[in-house]
Structure formats: structure tokens, C-alpha cells
Amino acid sequence: MYLEPLSFGELIWESCFEVQKSRFKDHIGSFPYLFRGFTFGKISKVEKEKAMRICQGLKSRGSQKWIRYVVNQCPEILNSRIIAQLEIPTNEGINWLSPLANDDYAEYQDQEFLAVLKTKLGNVPLEKFWPNGGPVWDALGRSDSGNLMLVEAKSHVGEMVSPRSQASPQSKALISKSLKECKKYLKSKSNIDWARSFYQYTNRLAHLYFLRELNRLPAFLVFVYFVGDKEMKGPESEEEWRGAIKLLHSYLGIGRTKLTPFMADVFIDVKSLSIGRQV
């Protein structure tokens, strides 16, 4: 299926990214995680360990602002929508572990996200599947029965478009291998390189595959789409989001897959939130 708008959007985003990277690279010492996942030089072992727990300050906007608010102020809104879609008991509680106000709204990646979820890998270690600098999860939760919730939040369509992996050659080789493995498992009908196109989305899918299929853990991947974020010029309806998601899935060559039962698309209108009525 020929999707010129999405391909054009990727080129525009990547062009903008290169401009911003050029502007900020001289100040990267002051903002070490501004371009998280993108390497401007060698990173020390200490810096890598710090990067596993990422604090981005109290001020926030877009999806980061909304997911922080929902997790800390009204988790029942998020919980009810997740439970309604996934095959878990309706009386199941979900305990959110990040981003928490009493933890500096920290977000986690790599080995640290596993530690936060209090889970251990029984079959395949993470370093054999993915190098350091993996997904930074917008929210992490654990249900009463031990189900693991991994959340990626969006408030505008531009967040769905991400550049290709900027990892080192050695790391790229491992990433490419794992993405191809996941792509084959999901029986993708597309011949595009998942390490190049919509990389943020595909690496989240790969991590669900890693936890579910390779390590047999009760993991779930939840995409939270916020509706009506006027500041970010986001979609004004659930239908707009669903249209964008459908195009994304078509581009990646996936429909209903073996992982679909363990994934949820959750839509939350910001006007239904107290903070949303104030902006």
C-alpha cells in the first residue's frame, strides 16, 4: 500500500531532528537526556547507569503532562479503560510504579524498568536482545496478580513518527536482528526496515515480544492516546487517532497478530480531566 503522506512526514520529521540536533549538540552537557537514545559521543558507564532512570523536571507538556496527571491524580480512569480491553479480571487493581510525583516523575529504561516492575527474566537476558539505550517507558504498572503494564503515551500525531535508530554499528546489528525476529513472528507483510521507519513504535512491539514470547512473562503493551490537546494541536476525536493508527499498521504490514490480545489502544479526552478543563 502506497502511503506518501506518512513517508513524507518521516522525511520532514527527520529533517527537523537534524536541525535541532545541530542547534543543541554544543549544549548537550547541560541537557544530557534531551535527545535520549541518540548518541553524540562516547557515554561513560556511570552515565549509562544514570540514563536508566530519567528525570525531566516538574514542568511538562503534551503526552508527558497528561500521563503524569492520570497516573498520579486519577489512575482509575486509565485502569478502567485498560481492563475493559484486555483479558484480565474486571476487579483487578493496577499499581502504577512510574511516573510518580514522589519519585520526581522519573521514567525508566533498560535493566531499571525491569527492576521497577519487580520482574526477573527466566530465559533470555535483555542484553542478548537489546543494547543499552532502549525504550524509555512513559508509565509502568503492575496488577494485583502480577500482570506487567508498559505504557507509551501520545497527544499529537507527530509523536507517532520517529527517526531511525542512531545506535552504534554493533548495537544496530543487535537491534536489527531482534526487530527482524519480531517482524517475522508477527508475520508482517511489509518489506520496510523496522529499524528505520516508525522506530519508536516497532521497538515497543519488539519489547512486548521479548517479554511475552521469549521470557513467558504476563506483559501488556498499552498505547494511551490523549484527545483534544489544543496546545500540541492534537487530534480532536478518537476517530482521528484510529485513522492514524490504521495507516501506521498498514505501513508496518501488520493487522491482528499473536500479540494483539496483549495490546490496548486507550483513548482519553483531556477535557474529562480536571487539569484539562483548565487549559
Q: How confident is the model at residue 46 (pLDDT cuts 50, 70, 90)?
A: very low
Task: Decide: helix, strand or coil at residue 236.
Answer: coil
Count, in order, helices (H) and strands (E) of the chain: 9, 7
* Max avg pLDDT among 4-8, 44-48, 240-244: 240-244
Write down the pLDDT at residue 204: 98
pTM (predicted TM-score): 0.81
Looking at residue 275, what is its pLDDT?
A: 63
The C-alpha atoms of residue 67 and residue 15 are separated, in whole angstroms, by: 28
Instruction: Render 123-164 in DSSP notation, one character per residue.
Output: SS-HHHH--SS---BSEEEEETT--EEEEEEESSGGGG--PP
* 89-101 pLDDT per residue, tens: 988 999 999 999 9
Average pLDDT over the chain reads 83
Q: Which residue has the cell 531511525?
A: 164
| Measured distance CA(279)–CA(275) in Å, rounded | 7
Q: Higher model confidence: residue 227 or residue 15?
A: 227
Predicted confidence at residue 192, as pLDDT, reads 92
Least confident of 33-42, 61-70, 236-245: 33-42
pLDDT digits (tens, 9 = 90+) for 98-155: 999 999 999 999 999 999 999 999 999 999 999 999 999 999 999 999 999 999 999 9
Say if residue 206's pLDDT is above 60. yes
- Residue 42, number of CB atoms within 10 A of its CB: 7
Looking at residue 163, its pLDDT comes to 72
Picking from 154, 138, 175, the residue whose alpha carbon sits closest to that of residue 241 is 154
Q: Please compute the mean of the pLDDT values over residues 68-73 and round it to a whole number.
A: 96
